[in-house]
Structures are given as C-alpha cells and as structure tokens.
Amino acid sequence: MTAEIICVGTELLLGHILNKNAQYLAQQLASLGIPHYYQTVVGDNVERLKQVIKIASDRSNVLIFTGGLGPTPDDLTTETLADFFGVPLVEKPEILADIAQKYAVRGRVMTPSNRKQALIPEGAEVLPNSSGTAPGIIWSPISNLHILTFPGVPSEMQRMWQETAVPYLKNLGFGQEIIYSRTLKFWGIAESTLAEKVSAFLNLPNPTVAPYASRGEVKLRVSAKANSQAEAEQLIAPIEQQLQAIAGLNYYGQDEDSLASVVGQLLQREDATLSVAESCTGGGLGQMMTDIAGSSRYFMGGVISYDNQVKVSLLGVNLQALQQEGAVSRTVAAQMAEGVRSLLGTTWGLSITGIAGPDGGTSTKPVGLVYIGLAQSNEKVQVFEHRYGQDRSRSLIRHLSACTALDLLRRKLLEKDH
Amino acid sequence: MTAEIICVGTELLLGHILNKNAQYLAQQLASLGIPHYYQTVVGDNVERLKQVIKIASDRSNVLIFTGGLGPTPDDLTTETLADFFGVPLVEKPEILADIAQKYAVRGRVMTPSNRKQALIPEGAEVLPNSSGTAPGIIWSPISNLHILTFPGVPSEMQRMWQETAVPYLKNLGFGQEIIYSRTLKFWGIAESTLAEKVSAFLNLPNPTVAPYASRGEVKLRVSAKANSQAEAEQLIAPIEQQLQAIAGLNYYGQDEDSLASVVGQLLQREDATLSVAESCTGGGLGQMMTDIAGSSRYFMGGVISYDNQVKVSLLGVNLQALQQEGAVSRTVAAQMAEGVRSLLGTTWGLSITGIAGPDGGTSTKPVGLVYIGLAQSNEKVQVFEHRYGQDRSRSLIRHLSACTALDLLRRKLLEKDH
C-alpha cells in the first residue's frame, strides 16, 4: 500500500504560492508509516488532471488530492475524478444545507455557484469541512484504490485531515507502524567528509541514516520504522551514540537545538555571561543569541561597532592598530573582544570583524576574510582567522561568521570536559 | 515547447523541507513565458526516478531537475539520467580542478567522494556552480529534449539558473513574449484594506495586479505580458503610479528595495547618520541595516542593551525610571534612543524595547507590547507604542518590531517632502 500526493492549482504552476500542503501531508504520511514515493502538481485543466489520475492510480493505492474544490469554474477536481472513473455526480442535500447555514452565520447569502460544491461522485462519502464551505470526498472507485480530496486552504485541509482522514486511514490498517526521525546537527565539517566517516551507516535498512547540508550546517537524519515512538527511539539510540562518537566535537546538538541554544546551555552550566562586539555581522550574532527565549540569563548585550570610530571610542580599540593593520585584523578582533568583555563586565567577550563584500576586498584581504576574537576574564584573548571565499554572498558570509563564532565559543566551553 | 520541474530528494517525501525550489523555478518559467504543466517530486531511488524521467520526457521538452547532485551515494540524478538514455559517464577534469580549488581556498582537502561530482553524461555540457561544489549539466540527449540539472541548495540553484540557464533558454527561442513583473511594497497597512482600496485594479487583464502578504509586509505584483521588457514597463508604469497614489505613505519601495535600503537612501540624501539601541530585537535592527552593502556610509553602529545594566551604564538610562516604569516603557525607549544617539554622535538614534515572549508578559504589559524611540539632534525624542498581540511568535514579534522601527524613521525622513 503506497500513497501519492496530487496538488491541483494553476497558482502553484505560476509560483504564486509555496506548496506547504505537500509538506504537511508528507509529514503526516510519514508519521502514519504510509510509504509515499511521488508528489505531483498539475494545473486547473481537465485533460492534464486526467493524465495525472491515470499515472497515479496505476502505481499507488491511496491518492490524496488538494485544491480544486471551490465554487468557481476552474475548480475541477471532483468532476474530473467522477468522469475519469465513469461515475455520475449526485447532489448531496446535506452539503447544500451545511453551506447555506455557514453563509447565514457570516451574514452572507449562498450564491448559485456554491451548488456545484454539493455534487459528489455516486458511491463516494463526504469528507466534511468544519471550518470552510468546500467539503472533500473519500471514495474507493475501484478495488484497492482510495481517493481523498481536500480544499487547498491549508488550515481547512489540516483540520479535515486530522478529523476524518486519519481515522479512515487507521481503519484501513495504517498507522500501526510509524516512522520516527531524529536529526543530528554538526558544525565545522564538510558534508562529504562526514558522509565518508559515517559511510558504513548510510546503507542501514532500519534505522536509515541520510546526510543533508545547508548554509554551513551538516545534518544526519536517523529515521526508524517501528510500532511505537518508544520502540523507534530504542532503534535510534545506539546508532545515534555511534554517530556522535565518530563526529566528536563537530556534533553539536539535535532536532530543535541551534548553536545559540547549545552555547546558552553551556554558559548557564558554568554561570557565565557573554557579550558581543560586531562589525561585519552588524548585530546578527546578538540576534542569534536572543532568538532563544530566556537568553537574558546569560546574554548581556554588546556593541555594534560598524564604524571604526565606535571601535575606538566604545571598545577601546587602539587607533594606531586600526590604521596600521586595518579594521579587519587579528589585533583589532582581539581588542574588540576584550573591549566589550570589560565594558559589559561579562565572563566571555566574542567579536567579529571581516569583509562581507561584495566590495571592499583586496588581494591580501579578500572578501570572505573574517577574524573572530574570543576573550575570557584572566585569560589571553584568542583570535581565529576564517576565509569563506570570495564566491559566497554577503548574506552567507555574515551567516557563516556568526555561526562560526558561536561554534568556537561552544568548543571552548566544552574543553573542560575533555 | 513545454517545461517540467522534477525535484529529487527523499527529504521532500518525508516533509523535512519545504519545496521552495519548485516555486522559484515556476516563477522563473512564467517570467520567460515558458509553459509548464507539471511538477513532480520523487525520492532518491533509481527505479522510481527512471519512471519519472520516462513520463516527463514523453510529455515535455525541457526537464529541469533539482537535487541529487551531491557527493554522497544517495545523490543519483546524474548517473540515473545517463543510464536512462544509455550514455556513459565521463570524468571532466575541469570540474575536478574547480572542486579542488574551492576546497583549497577554504583550507580543506577534497575527499575521494567528490570525484563522483566530476562525472557527467558523454555529450552533456557542464552547468557551472560558482558558489558551491556540485555543478549541474545542460544536455540534449535526444532531439527536441533539453535537460538541465541543479543542486538542491536554493542559493546555488538560483545563481546557476540566472547565470547559465536563462541565457541558454533564451537562445532556444524562449523569452520572446515575456511576462515582466514589478512588485510594489507596502508597510503599515493590512492586506485586506489595501486590496479593498485597489479593488478596481484586481481584475485588469494586462497588466494583472495581485496582492500578497507575509510577515507584516504587503505586496502588489503588477505583471505585464509583452514582446519586450520596455513594452511591459510601459504597460506597468501608469498602473503603478495610480497604485502608489492610492497607497500614499504606506508605499515604500519596489522589487529589490527593503525598508533598510530605502531608509539608507533617505539618510544619504540628507547626509545623516544613524545609530541603534536594541533590547528585545537583540541586534536584528542593526543586522537589517547592515544587510545593505555600503551601509557604513550612514550606519555607525549601536548598543545591544539586552540586560538592564547595559541600558544604564552605556546608554545612560535612568535607574529610577527603569525601576518604576520598567524596561518596557515610554521613558526607557526615549532614553535609549537619545542615549545611543549622543553616545555615537549620530543625527538619528532609534531604539526598541519590548516583550517578545513567549514568557514575560503581564496583564498590563502583555507579550507583543513594544516601544520604539526615535531621537534626532536638537529635537524632542518621539516614542511610538505598538501591540503586536500575544498570539504571535517570538520571532515574528521581533521581526515586526525591527521593520516598524525602520518604517517610522522612513516616514519621518519623508515628512519634509510633504
């Protein structure tokens, strides 16, 4: 038994809306343990929709449609399904009554075009829509094929899915086995390097392990098929342990964790506080830290020293160093970190100065060159140099700089454990 | 000639990521006037991918693939395409050299698995990836069929699309009749209110006008179908003027403009400078300002005064006001704005203090309450109160606060024009 998602709507083909329905349904199918191998988007066109129904009904057993249930002439899903399977449409008085009543509550009068929404294929059941006017259908037109239709409005579709579709699918025998996933997160290692180190795990049947990467972060998704979440977690635990051991300090957290949340936990563990001095990131590092609710317990604030004058007047950066070595230099990064740490009286001070581009690079100091300073009370300031490459965008260089700064602090905070 | 989008990746079938690539490509195909009737998602599986290639190559002439170009064993797109069309893979030394060079710049060593990325079908051309390691291909394996492949990482895909795919498709004869769009941007007005004000425009045949909204911003997309961009612009210009006149000061810019870029232009126009004092946004306002390349001409920096102590010691906020009225108050917002303005010696000072939640709200000061202070040299500080509602997320409240602060400054800078 496999399912397939078919989203109907010309607005999807024009790129006017993002297909969030497909993602929601995909997650739902996974959690019910229903395999699904294809998603299709097709426009409001009878012939092309029929072709898609033909292909999907030949290869899958549960077809889930979204869109095309409204009252306008370009809403074609129900009548095209009926036509494809050669079944007449019948008017359901209870649907008409429901639509009329909903219009009355909103102080509106039902229009003749709504009548169309009361027509469903003979033999199909109504899939009620408690929050909108367009109901769906649940229909098994031929043996071993189940069709469910939903409107395209995400909130209506989701409610109908939970209220009616899930019990129906469980009744068919689905949802006994679930797919449960955990995502392990890594920083400071390339996807290909990590994939090679854990290559032995990438062909496991259950749980499966799959690598992903985006904007500098690498993830391994560990997915288990089991009869319950507890059983899935038992399957995942030993694999997770081994993957963490292989990755060492490059592993930083899982699922909802971010570098900022992990750094926050480590700071709290030792009752430490943090302040930041930002040049090229312009506030992005502070924003990441304060994304975490409750971060006021360890994050005090900082200085956005975008202009060099601010580096001198507020952070105490040496004017001579600034002139001789430049704002993007080891010395300035060190003085910024120590400057903000002592100004705000925190345990740690973290600074970033770099060339985010697209302009401002030179042959010795190219776009993508970033210095990160890390100051700690009673310790010598450490400075780290990173070169993100001139081919990367301003936005990505700023993002990588802020994440790398958090990662350096994370590793430093973990040093004591090793 | 019709195109078709095929997104390859089990992560899409599991619902782990939203299919933003399909939307981007759909918009791009529309703007080039290339009809496209189907989008398909398929997992990392050779047999099913072959089935999809069969179906798509039977009904469309331009197949656009995203995903499955990485170095890991589950990246299968290139080899499956070669296998389907019965063509051997050949190693391209220039790809290997490019990957090795990119690794070298980043101080990393290429791994053997990257070698796989240098294999492309015989007769195919390389579609270069200037920002990542995975190149795509442009290939016409049989007559009247064109295949383009892209990595799944949106930023890389988009750059490759613009740099190589668009010229290639134009060369094939596409993009003669073009759809050209301009997006007008608004802040401070609800989508439904704006839609009602401009309702007479929403049924125009050419150009069409369509409203969108996301995260507080409302947009009107004006799309014209024409033989050239110049002709489209002529169709759009009078409509655009009328829409701007109706929206008044709520209209702030178009296309690539952001509130931060518009504020930057207005500041430069009067040779003014800006500094910021941020509490609940934690650096987000500074980050928005510095998203704009060249912002160092007018943005000096600021203070992230997340902790109250920082508000007092750096910004000169009155301890008594802090204790009596609280950190989220008119008085503190005013003192923060004037404090940072005089500390950094700028023309303008902009402050934000509020309750971003999810915790920390009270009945008199609920989550979503935000004060924005705007100080100007030799003028009385102005303070604006906003209530974004307790049902909004921490992330959205922070975003709306920073945007609203920029919008207030924008309106202030425009006052002189009126």
Distances (CA, A) of B127 to A16, A333, B93, B323: 27, 39, 14, 62
Average of per-residue pLDDT across B142-150: 96
Question: In this predicted model, what pLDDT tens digit does every residue of A29-85 receive, in sequence order?
Answer: 988 889 999 999 999 899 999 999 999 999 999 999 999 998 777 789 999 999 999
Kindly determine whether residue B306 and residue A300, on different chains, have CB atoms separated by under 8 Å. yes
The CATH number of the domain holding residue A406 is 3.90.950.20
Which of A290, A359, A367 to mutate against chain B (most B CBs within 10 Å)?
A: A290
Residue whose tokens read 């892209």: B150
Q: Point out the domain boundary residue: A221, A254, A287.
A: A254
Pairwise CA distance, residues A108 & B88, whole Å: 65
Q: Phi and psi dihedrals of A327, rounded to 5?
A: -65, -30
The range of the structural domain enclosing residue B271 comes to 259-417
Are residues A92 and A35 both part of a single domain? yes
State the pLDDT at residue B331.
Answer: 98
User: What are φ and ψ of residue A386, in 5° steps?
Assistant: -130, 145
The pLDDT tens digits for A226-259 are: 988 899 999 999 999 999 999 999 999 999 999 9
Tell me, yes or no, if B394 comes closer than 8 A to chain A by beta carbon: yes
pLDDT class of A16 with cuts at 50, 70, 90: confident
A306 to B291: CB separation less than 8 angstroms, yes or no: no
Domain boundary among B254, B281, B299: B254
Region of poorest pLDDT, from A107-116, A409-418, B406-415: A107-116
CB within 8 Å: B14 and A181: yes
Contact A14 B26 (CB under 8 A): yes
Quick check: A388 and B106 CB within 8 A? yes
pLDDT at position B281:
98
Assess whether B159 and B219 both reside in one domain.
Answer: no
Quick check: A211 and B72 CB within 8 A? yes
- Enumerate the residues of chain A whose CB falls inside 8 A of the CB of residue B27: 14-15
Question: What whole-number distance in Å separates Cα of residue B129 and Cα of residue B165?
Answer: 11
State whether residue A388 sits within 8 Å of chain B by CB: yes
Task: Assign residue A193 the CATH number of its domain.
Answer: 3.30.70.2860
Q: What is the mean pLDDT of residues A296-320?
A: 97
- A20, B15: Cβ pair inside 8 Å? no
Nearest to A299 by CA among A258, A248, A259, A260: A260
Asked which of A13-17, A91-95, A160-164, B160-164 is least confident by mean pLDDT, the reply is A13-17
Partners of residue B395 in chain A, C-beta under 8 Å: 291
Answer with the one of B119, B152, B171 that is the final residue of a domain.
B171
User: B396 CB near a chain A CB, below 8 Å?
Assistant: no
Give CA–CA dist A159/A39, Å, rounded.
21
Is the pLDDT reported for residue B71 higher than 70? yes
pLDDT value at residue A144: 93
Supply the pLDDT for residue B143: 93
Residue of B nearest to A55 (CA): B55
Q: What are the CA-CA distances from residue B213 to residues A262, B30, B217, B219 (Å)?
A: 34, 20, 6, 6
Render pLDDT for B72-90 as a digit per residue (tens, 0 to 9).
888 999 999 999 999 999 9
Distance of alpha carbon A26 from alpha carbon B241, whole angstroms = 44
Flag if B281 and A290 touch (Cβ within 8 Å).
yes
- For residue A16, the distance in angstroms to the closest alpha carbon of chain B comes to 7
Buried b (16+ CB within 10 A) or exposed e, A343-355: bbebbbbbbbbbb
Q: In terms of CA atoms, which chain B residue is nearest residue A279? A: B301
Tell me the nearest-neighbour CA distance from B418 into chain A, angstroms: 32
Which of B14, B39, B303 is the closest to A30 by Cβ?
B14
| Residues B24, B157: Cα–Cα separation, whole Å | 10
* Among B275, B347, B261, residue whose Cα is nearest residue B315: B275
Q: At B337, is the secondary structure helix, strand, or coil?
A: helix
Residue numbers in B near A191 (CB within 8 A): 70-72
The CATH number of the domain where B29 resides is what?
3.40.980.10
Cα B30–Cα B131–Cα A255 angle in degrees, nearest 5: 90
pLDDT value, residue A282: 98
The length of chain B is 418
CA distance B307 to B301: 18
* Contact residues, A window 287-306, toward B, CB-based 8 Å cutoff: 287, 289-291, 293-296, 299-306
Minimum distance, in Å, between the CA of residue A93 and any CA atom of chain B: 33
For residue A348, pLDDT beyond 70: yes
Instruction: Map tokens 């890390």 to a residue.
Output: A374
Count of A-B CB contacts under 8 Å: 276
Show the CA angle centred on residue B401, arms to residues B398 and B406, nearest 5°. Answer: 130
Backbone angles phi, psi at A277, to 5 degrees: -125, 115
What tokens were used for A10?
């010309």
Sequence-distant (6+) residues with CB within 8 A of B262 are B252, B253, B410
Of B112, B113, B289, the CB nearest to A282: B289
Contact between residue A357 and residue B293 where contact means Cβ atoms under 8 Å apart = yes
Does position A418 have pLDDT exceeding 60, yes or no? no
A48, A280, A292, A306: which to substitute to probe chain B, counting the most B Cβ within 10 Å? A306
Query: Would the pLDDT of A182 be above 80?
Result: yes
Minimal Cα distance from A26: which residue of B?
B15
Angle, in degrees to the nearest 10, between helices A394-414 and A259-269: 30
Distance CA B32, CA B172 (A): 12
pLDDT at B277 (0 to 100): 98
**Per-residue pLDDT, B41:** 98
Mutation target vs A (from B14, B36, B156; most A CBs, 10 A cutoff): B14
Task: Say yes or no for a CB contact (<8 Å) between B286 and A304.
Answer: yes
Pairing of strands A89-91, A125-127: unpaired
Instruction: Look at residue B74 in the predicted model and tell me its pLDDT.
Output: 86
Whether the per-residue pLDDT at B114 is higher than 90: the answer is no
Total structural domains within chain B = 3
Whether residues A8 and A155 share a domain: the answer is yes
B163 and B35 both lie in a single domain: yes
Q: Which two tokens stand for residue B266?
A: 């207005």
A51 CB within 8 Å of a chain B CB: yes
Q: Cis peptide before B207, with omega less than 30 degrees from 0? A: yes
Task: Match 């008594």 to its residue by tokens.
Answer: B320
Under 8 Å CB-to-CB from B327, ≥6 apart: which residues?
A: B279, B308, B311, B353
- Tens-place pLDDT, residues B238-273: 999 999 999 999 999 999 999 999 999 999 999 999
Query: B249: closest CA among B405, B399, B407, B372?
Result: B407
Half-sphere CA count of B93, side-chain side, radius 13 A: 0
List CB contacts (< 8 A) between A18 and chain B: 18-20, 23
Query: Cβ of A344 under 8 Å from any chain B Cβ?
Result: yes
Q: Check whether residue A402 and residue A278 sit in a common domain.
A: yes
Does the CB of A179 have a partner CB in chain B at under 8 Å?
yes
Phi, psi (deg, nearest 5) at residue B85: -90, 5
Contact A145, A57 (CB under 8 A): yes
At residue B309, does pLDDT exceed 90?
yes
The rounded percent of chain A whose pLDDT value lies above 70 is 99
Of B26, B107, B290, the CB nearest to A282: B290
Tens digits of residue pLDDT in A90-103: 999 999 998 888 87
Does the distance separating the beta carbons of A299 and B303 come in below 8 Å? Answer: no
Burial of B408 by CB count in 10 Å (0-12 exposed, 13-18 middle, 19+ buried)? buried
- Please write the tens of the pLDDT for every residue from A119-133: 999 999 999 998 777
Quick one: three-class SS letters along chain A? CCEEEEEECHHHHCCCCCCHHHHHHHHHHHHCCCCEEEEEEECCCHHHHHHHHHHHHHHCCEEEEECCCCCCCCCCHHHHHHHHCCCCEEECHHHHHHHHHHHHHCCCCCCHHHHHHHEEECCCEEECCCCCCCCEEEECCCCCCEEEEECCCHHHHHHHHHHHHHHHHHHCCCCCCEEEEEEEEEECCCHHHHHHHCHHHCCCCCCEEEEEEECCEEEEEEEEEECCHHHHHHHHHHHHHHHHHHHHHHEEEECCCCHHHHHHHHHHHCCCCEEEEECCCCCHHHHHHHCCCCHHHCEEEEEECCCHHHHHHCCCCCHHHHHHHCCCCHHHHHHHHHHHHHHHCCCEEEEEEECCCCCCCCCCCCCCEEEEEEEECCCCCEEEEEECCCCCCHHHHHHHHHHHHHHHHHHHHHHHHC
Q: Which of A298, A258, A292, A308 is nearest to A275 (CA)?
A: A298
pLDDT confidence tier of residue B106, bands split at 50, 70 and 90: confident
Q: What is the residue-averaged pLDDT of chain A?
A: 93
Question: Alpha-carbon distance B181 to B213, whole Å?
Answer: 17
Q: Which residue has the tokens 């350096």?
A: A408
B47 touching chain A per CB within 8 A: no
- From the list A278, A310, A391, the residue facing B300 with the nearest CB is A310
User: In the prediction, which pLDDT does A390 show?
Assistant: 81
Residues B43-70 pLDDT 10s? 999 999 999 999 999 999 999 999 999 8
Tokens of A200: 């032995």
Considering the domain architecture, whether residues B239 and B311 belong to the same structural domain is answered as no
Angle (CA) B375-B307-A334 rounded to 5° is 95
Amino acid symbol at A162: Q
pLDDT at B418 over 60: no
Q: Choose the closest CB to B108 out of A190, A295, A345.
A: A190
Residues A167 and A186 in one domain: no
Is the CB of A72 inside 8 Å of chain B's CB atoms? no
Each residue's pLDDT tens digit, A365-390: 999 999 999 999 889 999 999 999 88
B55·A55 Cβ contact <8 A = yes
For residue A351, what are the CA distances in angstroms to A285, A286, B157? 9, 11, 32
The predicted structure's pLDDT at residue A120:
95
Alpha-carbon radius of gyration of chain A: 28
3-state SS, residue B226 = strand
Q: What is the mean pLDDT of residues B91-95?
A: 92
pLDDT confidence bin for B109, thresholds 50/70/90: confident
Can you tell me the mean pLDDT for B301-321?
97
Residues B263 and B373 occupy one common structural domain: yes
> Which of A179, A283, A387 faces B290 most closely, judged by CB atoms?
A283
Angle at B415 between CA A282 and CA B248, to 5 degrees: 95
| Rounded CA separation A199/B72 (Å) | 9
Give the pLDDT of residue A70: 82
**Residues in chain A closer than 8 A to B13 (CB atoms):** 26, 36-37, 39
Does A280 lie in the same domain as A138?
A: no
B237-263 burial, b for 16+ CB within 10 Å, e for fewer? eebbeebeeebebbbbbbeeebbbbbb
- Which of residues B203 and B137 earns the better pLDDT score? B137
Interchain pair A289, B278: CB under 8 A: no
Residues of chain A contacting B203 with CB distance shorter than 8 Å: none
Answer for the pair B371, B330: CB distance below 8 angstroms, yes or no: yes
pLDDT of residue B111: 82
pLDDT given at position B402: 98
Mean pLDDT across chain B: 93
pLDDT at B417: 65
Q: Name the token pair of A269.
A: 């563990």
Are both B274 and B313 inside the same structural domain? yes
A43 touches chain B (CB under 8 A): yes
3-state SS, residue B346: coil
Residues B125 and B68 in one domain: yes
Domain check: are B89 and B151 in the same one? yes
Instruction: List the alpha helices (DSSP H) in B198-307.
Output: 229-247, 259-269, 284-290
